[in-house]
Structure 1
Amino acid sequence: MMTPHLIPLESNFLVPNGTFFVELIAFAIMFAILAKYVVPPINRAMTARQDAIRQQFAELDQAKEEANSAKDEFQSQIADARHEAARIREDAREQGAAIIAEMREQAQAEAARIVEHGKAQIQAERQAAVASLRAEVGTLATDLAGRIVGESLDDDARQGRVVERFLAELETGTAGAN
């Protein structure tokens, strides 16, 4: 007799066996646990992180706008300051020119006053010199005339006439020479 040999059944990997179903159930349970307890906190964390990043980008854009606004304002203030400085320099130039003109006028007025005072002083000194000269010339002329004529000209009236005539002749001679 032949002993029937047990022919081992060869398993076909395409046909599922019991291990497959156990593994499938374990996978489904793990998937359900992961889907219920692990994935939602991860999604919330990712959403919160995305919101934080969006918020940071919005704040960055706002900070950029504020920086640009501050830069524009700063440049405007610098331009205003430059215009103000130019205006102040121009005002200072105008005031300087006015002060120079005023000082020039005062100097010219002072020079004119000094010249007038000098002319008046010269005229007064000239008149004093002429009076002194007349007296001295008169005395000298009468002494000389008395010596020449041989008589004394002590009479004051006569002496005055002789001196006046002599000075008149001198003045006409000087005026004619000029």
Structure 2
Amino acid sequence: MGPLKPNLIELILGLIAFFAVFATLTKVLLPRIEKTLAEREEVTAGTLERAEEFRLEAQRIHAEYQAELSAARHEAAQIRQAAHEEGATLLAAVRAEGQRAREELVAAATVQLEADRVIAEAELREDVLGLATELAGRIIGEPLTDVDRARAIADEFFANTEANAKS
């Protein structure tokens, strides 16, 4: 009765117990295991399908975002271009206004300078006439009282000086 020659009753009882456990496992436990594995497979497949749906939805949203971003960039470029053109137009208008104001100021200053020159020339002629008359009176030793004659001489002198200056 060793391992090579087992006891027949023990062998039969062991085989009966083995087949009973095997039958129980096959009938009760294995269907439950298969059911659990099928449920897990179904859940996993459902999760994968949902994940694929989420991925597709995310791609769609990303594409919409990129399209909106591109449209916003395009609109911003148009706004920048319009602002640049408007700024150039305003700058040209301001420059034209400044040029016109400068020309008006130059014209007014030229008129004022000409008027001041005429006034200064007239005052200088009177001062020169007075000084010349006084100097001539000192040279002669008597005051000169013929102002009209002195004025005629001074006017003739100034006319000659202007004629020489122009030629």
Coarse TM-score class (shorter-chain normalised): 0.5 to 0.7
Residues 119-142 of structure 1 show CA distances to partners (whole Å, capped at 9, x for unaligned) of 123212201211112202323454
Please tell me whether residue 117 in structure 1 is matched to residue 81 in structure 2: no
Residue 38 (str. 1) matches residue 32 (str. 2): no
Larger radius of gyration: 1
Instruction: Give the alignment partner of residue 49 of structure 1, picking from 29, 40, 44.
Output: 40
Q: Secondary structure at the match of 2:145?
A: coil
- Residue 101, structure 1, aligned to residue 92, structure 2: yes
Whose helix proportion is higher, 1 or 2? 2
Counterpart of 1:114, as a letter, is: L
Alpha-carbon distance, 1:65 to partner: 0.3
The C-alpha deviation readout for 1:137-164, integer Å capped at 9, x for no partner, is 3234545677899987523443443333
- 1:115 Cα deviation from its structure 2 partner: 1.7
Query: Tell me, what secondary structure is at the counterpart of 2:117?
Result: helix
Residue aligned with 1:100, SS: helix
2:105 and 2:70 map into 1 onto residues whose CA distance is 51
- After superposition, the CA RMSD in angstroms is 3.6
Identity %: 34
Rounded to whole Å, the distance in 2 between the matches of 1:83 and 1:161 is 84
CA distance in 2, matches of 1:172, 1:145: 25
2:146 to 155, 163, 178: 155
Q: State the match for 2:129 in structure 1.
A: 138
1:103 Cα offset (Å)? 3.4
Which runs of 5 or more structure 1 residues have no equivalent in the other structure? 1-18
TM-score (norm 2): 0.68
Instruction: Give the number of the structure with larger relative contact order, counting CA–CA contacts within 8 Å between residues 6 or more apart.
Output: 1
Alignment of 1:4-83 (within 5 A): 27=19, 33-34=24-25, 36-83=27-74
Instruction: Decide which of 50, 67, 75 is 1:84's aligned counterpart.
Output: 75
Q: What is the rounded CA distance, in whole Å, between the counterparts of 1:170 and 1:149 in structure 2? A: 25
Aligned length: 156
For the residues of structure 2 that align with 1:142 and 1:167, how far apart are their CA atoms? 15
Secondary structure at the aligned position of 1:154 is classed as: coil
Aligned partners of 1:39 and 1:152: how far apart in 2?
A: 154
Which deviates the most, 64-73 or 151-160? Answer: 151-160
For the residue of structure 2 that corresponds to 1:104, the secondary structure is: helix
